[in-house]
Structure 1
Amino acid sequence: MDLQQQFEAAVANSKTLSEKPSNEILLQLYSLYKQATEGDVNIPPPENFFDIAGKAKHEAWTGQKGKAKEQAMEEYVALVTKLKG
């Protein structure tokens, strides 16, 4: 299975985890997914002061800036594999 197929399988597996991951892990999954599929963050941060979740997501994705798509995919697959284990 090539990396793209492993990534797609991990995305599917992430939706069937036996336990809901912590918010920290969810942000990590989100940011790695966005980096792998869209590259560096390409949207402005939320303007609404009360959009705490949106700001956290934006910050997490921004933290992945410069990471290669393939590396983000590999890290996503490894994280989901660890969570499924």
Structure 2
Amino acid sequence: MVNFEEIVEKARKFRDTLTKEDFLEFYGYYRQATEGDCNIEEPEDEEEKARYNAWKSKAGLTLEDAKAHYIEVYKKHAAKYE
């Protein structure tokens, strides 16, 4: 069975080709899976704010649940980007 760290490495290979929406979906789950609930202040920069909101929207997920969601997002998008 593939683990979270292996999926993260696979996903990094197509990071530069992701749509903004897909990137933010990965980003939100990744930050939640590695750091827990969002612990930063909302930034003013629009791009940083989009990342902040993607992470903030995953609040309450356990690290393990966020990892599982990240893997599912990878499975959903892998064929499109590989």
TM-score range, shorter chain: 0.7 to 0.9
Matched, 1:81 2:75: yes
Q: Which amino acid aligns with 2:37?
A: D
CA RMSD of aligned residues (A): 1.8
| 1:44-81 alpha-carbon deviations (Å, 9 max, x no partner) | 111x3xx1110011111110010111111001011112
**Runs of 4+ residues over 2 Å off in structure 1:** none
For the pair shown, the structure with the greater C-alpha radius of gyration is: 1
Identity of matched residues, %: 34
Provide the rounded CA distance (Å) in 1 between the counterparts of 2:14 and 2:46. 25
Higher relative contact order (CA 8 A, sep 6+): 1
Q: Count residues with an aligned counterpart.
A: 79
